[in-house]
Structure 1
Amino acid sequence: MSDLHVMAQTLRQLFDARQYQVADWFIDRCDRRQLEQLLRDANAVITLRIDYVVKKRLQRRSGVEAAVGTIEALPYVLNLWCREGRRSAVRSVLAELDSRQLCALGECMDLDPEVASMLREFHQ
């Protein structure tokens, strides 16, 4: 799967849970180019609300940004969901990851041990 599908699924889960501040945090850490691609990609199904929020967050960014990739931004969100008991949201995002992305996520030092154990369900 592409980072766009992972990003779209993460945003859908955040908006479904009304975690708008976390969604803003996630958007602010994702790469501008990937976010712009997300807005143009018809296969990355996002709601009009998500589309609007991403566009507004991009407009507010300064010329110099310290954005990271989607995988690097995921641990914070996944760890939060795990603490809140939203394991189905964690699994829905993990299901969008390909084996390369799963390995990269597994190497993140700040990943909650429970999230790390869920990774094994998706590694084949």
Structure 2
Amino acid sequence: MSGVYVLAETLRQLFDAKQYRVADWFIDHCGRGQLEELVQAHGTAIAMRIDYVVKRRLQRRSTSESAGDLVEALPYVLNLWCREGRRSAVRYVLKELDEPEVDALARRPDLDSEVVSMLREFRVNYT
């Protein structure tokens, strides 16, 4: 269930920063099941605009089309935010990760070294 909160927070940060193209890319690279869970989850407070965009992107996607996983798509967004100096956005998203997601993300070779250093803070909380 943590993935839903990570997805919701990432999209919230993207929409707040008016990074709509990146949000579209991110949605397209997340798994269909994760996105469906997001729009059906009652515990995530997502804006109506985000809900609308996610539902439209899901309608366009064929059911056989398999997209990647949240942890596969997240480095692109986190690295972008580091380059832009949006470290608080990175921290908000990292805070939503559970321990297996933190470990999986930490193993990503394409993750910016600054994000890796922030991840260490969150890994300490789980040990």
Q: TM-score range by the shorter chain?
A: over 0.9
Residues of 2 paired with 1:24 and 1:18: CA distance?
A: 11
Once the two structures are TM-superposed, the CA of residue 62 in structure 1 deviates from its matched residue by 2.8
Counterpart for residue 109 of structure 1: 109
CA distance in 2, matches of 1:24, 1:64: 19
* Corresponding residue for residue 75 of structure 2: 75
The CA distance in 1 between the partners of 2:111 and 2:10, in whole Å, is: 16
Matched position secondary structure for 2:67 = coil
Q: Would you say 1:55 and 2:55 are equivalent positions?
A: yes
**What residue in structure 1 maps to residue 99 of structure 2?**
99
Shift of 1:69: 1.1
Structure 1 equivalent of residue 32 of structure 2 = 32
SS in 2 for 1:43: coil
How far apart, in 2, do the equivalents of 1:63 and 1:10 lie? Answer: 24
**Quick one: distance in 1 between partners of 2:38 and 2:47?**
11
Kindly indicate whether the alpha-carbon contact (under 8 Å) linking 2:32 and 2:66 is maintained by their aligned counterparts in 1. no
Question: How far, CA to CA, are the matches of 2:83 and 2:57 in structure 1?
Answer: 27
- CA distances 1:26-52 after superposition (whole Å, capped 9, x unpaired): 000111111111101011110000000
State the TM-score, normalizing by the size of structure 1.
0.96
SS at match of 2:18: coil
Q: TM-score, normalised by structure 2?
A: 0.94
The alignment yields a C-alpha RMSD, in angstroms, of: 1.0
CA distance in 1, matches of 2:44, 2:96: 11
Supply the distance in 1 between the matched residues of 2:32 and 2:11 (Cα, whole angstroms).
15
Distance in 1 (alpha carbons) for counterparts of 2:20 and 2:115: 22
Residue 41 of structure 1 aligns with which residue? Answer: 41
Following superposition, the deviation at residue 121 of structure 1 comes to 1.3
Separation (CA, whole Å) in 2 of partners of 1:63 and 1:40: 17
User: Which residue of the partner structure matches residue 4 of structure 2?
Assistant: 4
Distance 1:85 1:68 in 2: 26
